[in-house]
Structure 1
Amino acid sequence: MRRALPNSLLFFVATGIVFLLQKSPATGIFMMLMLAMFWSVILINAGLIGIAIEALTGRVYRAWILLPLIVYVTNFGFAAYDHFTLKTLRAAYDIANAQVHVPFNSNRQALVFDKDGSPEWYTQNYALEAAYLANEKQPEEVRSTRLIDRALCDAVRGNSSLSAARIYTFGFHDGEALGGTGFERRFCTISMPEAPKMPVIRIKVEKSHSKVAFLPIQNATTTIETPDGKRVKLRGGTASPLYWIPMPVMGCALNSGAPSWDCVWVLLRDDFTPIVSGSTRYRRDLFTLARALGLRPVAKSERKAGSPPAVILARMEKIESETLQRQLANLDAMIADPLLDNPDWDVGVLARDSGILSQKSTMIMIGVEKSAAITGTHRGKARESGRILAGLLARLPDEIFRQLKPRILGVYNKADDEHWLWEAETLIRRLGDLGVEAMPFLINPRASGGNVNNAGIEAICRVGVAGRELAMPALLSMWNASRDRFDWDRRQALFVAMQRLNIEPPPLTQVKGNQLSNPRRTSSDISPQSPASVCSTR
């Protein structure tokens, strides 16, 4: 017997219930987190398809098939019209853009983008040594963008003084999406304040919203202005055609701008569909501009770093020198008075200069001893200077570090369990270079705590097989006490240390999944003959 109403109408009832639950912020906030506003896409389409099946199988009157038929045919018709409009626009834009040719010579001209430009993308993917970014609200603020070698990237990134001068570096991925074809590890982009010295070709992108027939458009008009004042335009942007099947979105969400709790009912569209032709989903307008300027594309394998301009090198050298002098003054102040107020933790330039560190080694050791000797209520204040000095002590060359062995072990011999010396991570790691005599301090649980990232375990590993007898009980105890999910890094360090000390890691009672597969795969070839460098697992 045929029913008057199809059971599939319950999908529409469910859609209404879900929508009503979203109307109230009390329940809607939880529904929002579960993306409930998109459930209507599935529920409504399931209801329409269900009605069609029930009508075709005779469970309800065949007239019910008109409902899904009308919905799908209507949506298909509007979607087809949107795509026809998009195709027409694409043809018109392509014809207009093909007429634009602005020869650009990077040896004689500079390419300056307004604030919405992407100069870094062009230096990464085209034979363009430098491009510039201007801010129309602050015409005096122009930044250059270049591709530079990784070594220079690291030098710039590690110098906070260069950051203070607004000189920044950042890496980038290739491909359409983030991580699409991997992170570029040979080069990075450097951005710094620098005005172009050659005649300027200025690029300005203006965006606006409009509608062609039923098709929403975000227009992107790129204006190219040559040094003689001539202007030409490229047309681009994105469109939002309907999907071929209806995608109704019903729900509520927090509008943080108002702020208010807003509800919507819309047909989802395929936003950010590029208008101009191309083989990529994104950046087609950038390719269009590159073709108009005659830029030569460069394959990833053919990338070359640009030569840093003299201004960068001169500024880096000047800042480096000034920073070193400031850090030396800070060092002398901490040594003279371990209770110095707010010592500067930035000692990166000094830490990289092994020559000056070697010259200052005795004074640094004196500073550590003075800070370590302070007790009582002032110990906490001495902790800051002490940890900075301990970090510099750990950066000393091997020969000089070993010469200070009796004095280094002496300060640890006097340190109780609450002393800040057990927080000096880099120094604890270097204690392993002092040999078996350091083992009594390295097997102290404080040396391998989470606050020092298991530094003592690495130090034990560095001691090597000579410390096996003293180290074995401590390593096995930590190994057996390690826990799944929480101690992955600790197990990795312990596995490496035991391999180098010729200790067989016993089976663990708590091991899930592949907790030990990575250590065994990457570290099973470590032996007592392996160099101490294998001990560094961080």
Structure 2
Amino acid sequence: MELAMLKDIVARPQQSVTGMEFKFLLDNSDVIGENFESIITGLENVVPYVGSDYDEASQRMVLFVNMIRVAPIEVFMSYGDRIIALYDEIDKFSRFWKMKKFIMRLTFIGPEALPFIFRAQKLSYRDKFFAFCRVGASGRSITEPVLLEMWEEIMSHPGTGASIQPIIIAMKRIGMPVPTVPDDHVHKERIVVAKERFSDISTQSPVEMCELNWHRRRR
């Protein structure tokens, strides 16, 4: 039933979706993956009709965006070029593409997603470390200078110790060396402990290693 409604919306991009529910599709990422071509085509078709107000076209856009957001990662990544192209076009005037979960998912696509990470206003330092880590070595030329600036900011304040582990994880996975600090630096001990704990992280490490919770679970 929901698949039939989806195909009808894709075929007729100007029709109303008010009152339509797609709970089954949104709860089943595998089904979304199997129908991803139709979903992204539907989004591409509706974009020309989207304005600055929350109108019918915006409602259809939000529906397709929510479906894209829950697609299996492999499928999401395989459509990276088309997703980035759409994001670049829509992001200028739509708050719906600025959702943190969607922005963070873009990082699976690769360095092409970094401009959107930099423009995102609601991402914390920790979110950005995680994002840079996910992008990995392919984005090092862009993220290394940014991480060095963030490192200097962290090192200049005594109450920023909680940021040391995630930034070191990011640095190691993109392949950059962790900067040194004097022996009497307030964060010296934390840095030594973090470097030892995450000594096995490299550019070849799986993306799961970007998550601090992953490291907590393997203790």
**Band the TM-score falls in, shorter-chain normalisation:** 0.5 to 0.7
Tell me the secondary structure at the aligned position of residue 175 of structure 2. Answer: coil
Deviation, 1:472, is 1.1
CA-based RMSD of the aligned residues comes to 4.4
Distance 1:337 1:373, change over 3 A: closer
Instruction: Determine the structure 1 residue equivalent to 2:216.
Output: none
Equivalent residue for 1:449, pick from 119, 123, 127: 123
Instruction: Determine the structure 1 residue equivalent to 2:140.
Output: 468
Tell me the secondary structure at the aligned position of residue 526 of structure 1. Answer: coil
Greater strand fraction, Structure 1 or Structure 2: 1
Instruction: Determine the structure 1 residue equivalent to 2:41.
Output: 366
Identity fraction in percent: 24
Instruction: Determine the structure 1 residue equivalent to 2:167.
Output: 494
Distance 1:517 1:491, change over 3 A: same
- Cα distance between partner residues in 1 of 2:43 and 2:160: 34
- Give unmatched runs, 5+ long, in structure 1: 1-324
Report the residue type matching 1:449 in the other structure. Answer: L
Equivalent residue for 2:53, pick from 340, 352, 377: 377
Instruction: Determine the structure 2 residue equivalent to 1:459.
Output: 131
Greater helix fraction, Structure 1 or Structure 2: 2
* Aligned positions of 1:112-151 closer than 5 A: none
Structure 1 contact 462–535 (Cα < 8 Å) conserved: yes
Deviation, 1:469, is 0.7
Distance 1:378 1:397, change over 3 A: closer
Distance 1:517 1:409, change over 3 A: same
Tell me the secondary structure at the aligned position of residue 449 of structure 1. Answer: coil
Deviations 1:146-176 (Å, cap 9, x if unpaired)?
xxxxxxxxxxxxxxxxxxxxxxxxxxxxxxx
Distance 1:371 1:414, change over 3 A: closer
Structure 2 contact 47–90 (Cα < 8 Å) conserved: no
Deviations 1:466-490 (Å, cap 9, x if unpaired)?
22111112222333334665783x5
Deviations 1:382-425 (Å, cap 9, x if unpaired)?
3x765564343233334432332221110232245664365233
Tell me the secondary structure at the aligned position of residue 108 of structure 2. Answer: helix
Structure 2 contact 30–71 (Cα < 8 Å) conserved: no
Deviations 1:493-530 (Å, cap 9, x if unpaired)?
43222110112333689966976577446433211121
TM-score, length-scaled by structure 1 = 0.31
Deviation, 1:446, is 1.0
Matched, 1:524 2:202: no
Structure 1 contact 391–424 (Cα < 8 Å) conserved: no
Report the residue type matching 2:177 in the other structure. Answer: E
Deviation, 1:533, is 1.9
Deviations 1:161-210 (Å, cap 9, x if unpaired)?
xxxxxxxxxxxxxxxxxxxxxxxxxxxxxxxxxxxxxxxxxxxxxxxxxx
- Cα distance between partner residues in 2 of 1:458 and 1:411: 23
Structure 1 contact 476–505 (Cα < 8 Å) conserved: no
Equivalent residue for 1:480, pick from 149, 152, 166: 152
Report the residue type matching 2:72 in the other structure. Answer: P
Instruction: Determine the structure 2 residue equivalent to 1:504.
Output: 177
- Cα distance between partner residues in 2 of 1:491 and 1:342: 47
- Cα distance between partner residues in 2 of 1:410 and 1:494: 29
TM-score, length-scaled by structure 2 = 0.65
- Cα distance between partner residues in 2 of 1:480 and 1:343: 50
Instruction: Determine the structure 2 residue equivalent to 1:312.
Output: none
- Cα distance between partner residues in 2 of 1:532 and 1:340: 37
Distance 1:523 1:419, change over 3 A: farther
- Cα distance between partner residues in 1 of 2:17 and 2:28: 24
Deviations 1:61-118 (Å, cap 9, x if unpaired)?
xxxxxxxxxxxxxxxxxxxxxxxxxxxxxxxxxxxxxxxxxxxxxxxxxxxxxxxxxx
- Cα distance between partner residues in 2 of 1:485 and 1:343: 49
Tell me the secondary structure at the aligned position of residue 396 of structure 1. Answer: coil
Deviation, 1:358, is 2.0
Distance 1:505 1:402, change over 3 A: same
Report the residue type matching 2:51 in the other structure. Answer: T
Equivalent residue for 1:424, pick from 83, 88, 99: 99
* Aligned positions of 1:99-118 closer than 5 A: none
- Cα distance between partner residues in 2 of 1:486 and 1:500: 21
Structure 2 contact 91–98 (Cα < 8 Å) conserved: no
Instruction: Determine the structure 2 residue equivalent to 1:357.
Output: 32
Structure 1 contact 462–532 (Cα < 8 Å) conserved: yes
* Aligned positions of 1:14-93 closer than 5 A: none
Deviations 1:442-483 (Å, cap 9, x if unpaired)?
4x2417714x971x5433322321221111122223333346
